[in-house]
Amino acid sequence: LAKTTQPISMDSYEGQEVNITCSHNNIATNDYITWYQQFPSQGPRFIIQGYKTKVTNEVASLFIPADRKSSTLSLPRVSLSDTAVYYCLPDTGRRALTFGSGTRLQVQP
């Protein structure tokens, strides 16, 4: 299984752009990279998924370099409601998924 490394925590202020980078050095060829968001006492919520280059949706952007050994989740103009834990997972959808410790993002006013 590909192992991921993310910062344990990050702090930001409202209105700023936040970039969270995840390292996944031994990602498999078939793995997509998926990011989830989790609020306290709630189940994780799918944010975005990509295979290479850049993916953008209404919530975030995901940047994946050509070697695919890392990925960066970009949250534009964060608000207090973006305070959560963010997890990245390499994911083929065919095997058990192990969540790492995630990155705890704290957004302050």
Partner 1 sequence: DSGVTQTPKHLITATGQRVTLRCSPRSGDLSVYWYQQSLDQGLQFLIQYYNGEERAKGNILERFSAQQFPDLHSELNLSSLELGDSALYFCASSSLGQGTVDSPLHFGNGTRLTVT
Residues lying near partner 1 in the complex (CB under 8 A) are found at 30, 32, 34, 36, 41-46, 49, 51, 87, 91-102
Compute the least distance from the CB of residue 74 to partner 1, in Å: 19
Are 104 and 8 in contact by the 8 Å Cβ rule? The answer is yes
Dist. CA 38–CA 70, nearest whole Å: 21
Cβ closest to partner 1, residue 13 vs residue 46: 46
Compute the least distance from the CB of residue 76 to partner 1, in Å: 21
Cβ closest to partner 1, residue 16 vs residue 57: 57
Residue 12 forms beta bridges with which residues? 107
Cβ closest to partner 1, residue 82 vs residue 91: 91
Give buried/exposed letters for 9-27 (b at 16+ CB in 10 A, else e): eeebeeeeebebebebeeb
